[in-house]
Amino acid sequence: MNASPGGPATAVPSTRSRPSRRLLRGITVVASCLALLAAAVVVGVRALDEEPTVTLLANWTGEDEEHFRQAVIEPFERKYHIHVDYQGSNAESQVLGADVEAGTPPDVVVLTGPGELAEYARQKQLVPLEQLVETKDFGPSWALPLADGHVYWFPLKADLKSIVWYPADVGEQQRARAVRRPAEWCVGMGSGATSGWPGTDWIEDILLQRYGTQVYEKWARGALSWRSPQVREAWKAWGKLVGAGGDRELLRRILKTPYQDASRPVTARPRGCTLEHQASFIRARPAWQRADGRYVPSARLIPGATGTHAWEVSGDLVALLHATPEATKLIRHLASADAQQAWSDRESGFSVHAGVRPAPGGTDPDWRRSLARTLRDPHEARCFDASDAMPPAVRDAFAEATIEFLADPGHLEDLLHSLDTLSGTRDLTWLPSVCDRRTP
* pLDDT(417) > 80: yes
**Closest to 308 measured CA to CA, from 317, 322, 316, 297:** 297
Interatomic CA distance for residues 110 and 327, integer angstroms: 13
Name the most confidently modeled range: 45-59, 105-119, 424-438. Answer: 105-119
Both 260 and 169 in one domain: the answer is yes
Q: Does residue 35 register a pLDDT over 80?
A: no
Q: What's the rounded mean pLDDT across residues 49-55?
A: 84
Of the CA atoms within 13 Å of residue 329, those in its CB half-sphere come to 18
Predicted TM-score (pTM) of this structure: 0.87
**Are 287 and 217 contained in the same domain?**
yes
Per-residue pLDDT reduced to its tens digit, 352-406: 999 998 766 566 788 998 999 999 888 899 999 999 999 999 999 999 999 999 9
**Element of type H or E holding 415:** helix 412-423
Say yes or no: 73 and 109 in one domain. yes
pLDDT at 359: 66
- Between CA 395 and CA 393 the distance in angstroms is 5
Q: How far is CA 332 from the centre of its chain?
A: 23
For 290-316, what is each residue's pLDDT tens digit? 999 999 999 999 999 987 779 999 999
Q: Are residues 168 and 62 in the same domain?
A: no
Report long-range pairs for 248-252 (Cβ below 8 Å, ≥24 apart). 250/182, 250/183, 251/406, 251/407
The predicted pLDDT at position 240 comes to 97
Residue 317, H or E segment? strand 311-320
Query: Containing domain of residue 335, as a range?
Result: 27-159+313-378
Residues 215 and 244 both lie in one domain: yes
- The CATH number of whichever domain residue 374 belongs to comes to 3.40.190.10
**How many domains are contained in the chain?**
2
Any alpha helices (H) in 221-358, and if so which ranges?
229-242, 248-256, 286-290, 325-334, 337-345
Domain match, 294 and 166 both: yes
pLDDT reported for residue 2:
64
Whole-Å CA distances, 203 to 51, 200, 259: 48, 5, 16
pLDDT value of position 26: 42
Same-domain pairing of 413 and 307: yes
CA distance 388 to 117: 10
User: Do 190 and 100 share a structural domain?
Assistant: no
Same domain, 336 and 407: no
Kindly state whether residues 367 and 287 are assigned to the same domain.
no
The pLDDT assigned to 344 comes to 85
Q: Clarify whether residues 166 and 202 are in a common domain.
A: yes
Note the pLDDT tens digit of each residue in 241-294: 999 999 999 999 999 999 999 999 999 999 999 999 999 999 999 999 999 999
Q: What's the pLDDT band for 37 if we cut at 50, 70, 90?
A: very low
